[in-house]
């Protein structure tokens, strides 16, 4: 699936820029559930690989299109709202996990489970189809509009690097937080998921309050403070590897990461030089590389030293977020 997502990112940006986010979201929102149903019918390893690649492609098309829509909604509202949209995405992830657990408990097969989710997604598409922004904002030159592959300027590159640093932290928390609690914190078996749960709860909850702080203090200030929280949370868990301080540290990391990607996407969509869909695709590509690279980098550093050292190294990526955010005001001019 990550292969499909990476392959499709720039193509998705081009398609959204060429045909509009409304059109591509409508198409993607039909293909994405269809891809899920396809996954439920695979019978061989190669079929599974192909279905996952297609599912990643369809999901990425929806991702770029719906975030472009989010940029348009922010323009209409005249205030920050992107983080709340990403909060709903996080909430949907929790809901999907609960539904999946219920399906397993009821002995529902994966294929019928996926059909149910696909039908639910199509029903939501039918309800929401008239509420999408009809036309994307266009503030770039004709040449840029026609180009599918654009070299990122310094502003977009900086946003991508901020997303990269943040998503390395996210990938680390997704794949290594439970192992950290098991190997370093020495938590009882039933509590090894506590750090991950703490991180996910504050990452989701932080997105619903982030827009208030962005409206009051500005995107760049919130990004800088987010980096500080990531550093503080990681270092707390490293310095005091007991259940309570480590959990508090992961709570801080969740708050820190919660705002970064939504704000970076929002700022990218307001680029004065690159169309929203392509700008979002560029930032998403750079950021997603961080999500993919984070877990293996942690494993490499842990193999050379220890897991605590690897978490300490990742902590300073939060500092990178703070320092890069300071450059944005000058680069945006």
Residue among 1, 69, 9, 6 nearest 35 (CA): 1
Phi, psi (deg, nearest 5) at residue 271 = -55, 140
Is residue 134 scored above 80 in pLDDT? no
User: Whole-prediction pTM value?
Assistant: 0.87
Q: Which domains does the chain have, with CATH numbers?
A: 2-128 (no CATH), 146-332 (1.20.1250.20)
Q: What is the pLDDT of residue 127?
A: 87
Give the burial class of 134: count Cβ atoms within 10 A of its Cβ; 0-12 exposed, 13-18 middle, 19 or more buried: exposed
pLDDT in tens, 195-228: 999 999 999 999 999 999 999 999 999 999 999 9
* pLDDT for the residue numbered 263: 95
pLDDT tens digits, residue range 168-194?
999 899 889 999 999 999 998 889 889
pLDDT of residue 4: 59
Angstrom CA distances, 254 to 90, 203, 317, stand at: 12, 4, 14
Which of 133-147, 242-256, 262-276, 282-296 shows the lowest mean pLDDT across its residues?
133-147
- Compute the mean pLDDT over every residue in the chain, rounded to the nearest whole number: 87
Query: Which whole-number Å values give the CA distances from 303 to 1, 287, 295, 308, in the listed order?
Result: 27, 25, 12, 11
């Amino acid at each position: 699936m990550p292969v499909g997502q990476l392959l499709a990112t720039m193509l998705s940006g081009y398609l959204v820029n060429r045909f509009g986010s409304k059109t591509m979201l409508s198409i993607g929102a039909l293909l994405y559930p269809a891809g899920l149903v396809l996954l439920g019918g695979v019978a061989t390893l190669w079929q599974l690989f192909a279905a996952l690649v297609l599912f990643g492609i369809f999901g990425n098309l929806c991702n770029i299109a719906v975030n472009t829509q989010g940029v348009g909604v922010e323009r209409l509202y005249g205030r920050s709202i992107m983080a709340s949209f990403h909060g709903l995405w996080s909430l949907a992830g929790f809901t999907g996990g609960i539904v999946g657990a219920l399906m397993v408990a009821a002995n529902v097969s994966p294929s019928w489970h996926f059909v149910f989710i696909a039908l639910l997604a199509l029903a939501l598409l039918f309800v929401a189809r008239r509420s999408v922004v009809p036309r994307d904002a266009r503030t770039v030159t004709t040449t840029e509009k026609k180009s599918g592959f654009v070299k990122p300027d310094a502003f977009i590159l900086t946003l991508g690097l901020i997303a990269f640093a943040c998503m390395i932290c996210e990938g680390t928390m997704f794949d290594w937080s439970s192992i950290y609690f098991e190997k370093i914190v020495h938590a009882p078996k039933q509590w090894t998921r506590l750090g991950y749960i703490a991180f996910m709860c504050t990452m989701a909850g932080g997105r619903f309050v982030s827009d208030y702080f962005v409206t009051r203090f500005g995107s760049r200030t919130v990004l800088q403070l987010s980096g500080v929280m990531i550093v503080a949370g990681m270092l707390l868990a490293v310095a005091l590897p007991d259940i309570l301080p480590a959990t508090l540290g992961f709570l801080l990391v969740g708050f820190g990461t919660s705002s970064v990607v939504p704000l970076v996407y929002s700022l990218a969509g307001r680029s004065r030089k690159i169309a929203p869909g392509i700008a979002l695709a560029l930032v998403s590509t750079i950021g997603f590389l961080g999500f993919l690279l984070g877990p293996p980098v942690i494993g490499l550093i842990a193999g050379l030293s220890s897991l605590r050292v690897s978490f300490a190294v990742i902590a300073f990526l939060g500092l990178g977020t703070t320092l890069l955010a300071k450059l944005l005001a000058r680069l945006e001019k």
